[in-house]
A = this chain, B = another copy of it.
Amino acid sequence: MCRQAIQRLAAYPSPPSPCLGARRLVAAVRCTEWATGGKVSARRFGSQRQLVMVEPSPTAGVAVLKLKNPPVNSLSLEFLTELNINLEKLENDKTFRGIIITSDCPRIFSAGLDLKELCGKNPAHYTEYYKALQNLWLRLYLSNLVLISAINGSCIAAGCLISLACDYRILADNPKYVIGMNETRLGLVAPFWFKDNLVNTIGHRASERALQLGLLFPPAEALQVGIVDKVVPEDQVQSTALSVMAQWLAVQDHARHLTKNMMRKSTADLLVKQRDADIQNFISFLSRDSIQKSLQMYLAKLTQNKG
Contacts and interface: CB of A to CB of B under 8 A. Distances in A.
Nearest to A260: B212
A232 to B, nearest CB: 15
Interface stretch (A40-48, A119-127, A194-202): A194-202
A202 B208 CA distance: 12
A241 to B, nearest CB: 15
Contacts of A167: 208-209, 212
Contact of A259 (B203, B211, B262): B211
B202 A259 contact: no
Given A213-B248, A247-B213, A248-B213, A208 B255 contact: no
B247 A17 contact: yes
A15 interface: yes
Interface stretch (A104-112, A153-161, A171-179, A183-191): A183-191
A207 B263 contact: yes
B212 A252 contact: no
How many copies of the polypeptide does the oligomer hold?
3
A15 B184 contact: no
A26 to B, nearest CB: 22
Question: Residue among A186, A208, A212, A214 with the most chain B CB within 10 A?
Answer: A212
Contacts of A34: none
B255 A184 contact: yes
A277 interface: no
A280 to B, nearest CB: 15
Contacts of A255: 183-184, 186-189
A251 B185 contact: yes
A256 interface: yes
A263 B183 contact: no
B205 A262 contact: no
A60 interface: no
A249 B186 CA distance: 14
Contact of A189 (B258, B264, B290): B258
B251 A184 contact: yes
A205 B183 contact: no
A38 interface: no
Interface string A160-171: 000000011000
A306 interface: no
A226 B226 CA distance: 14
Contacts of A195: 262-263
5 contacts: A185-B251, A187-B254, A188-B255, A195-B263, A199-B204
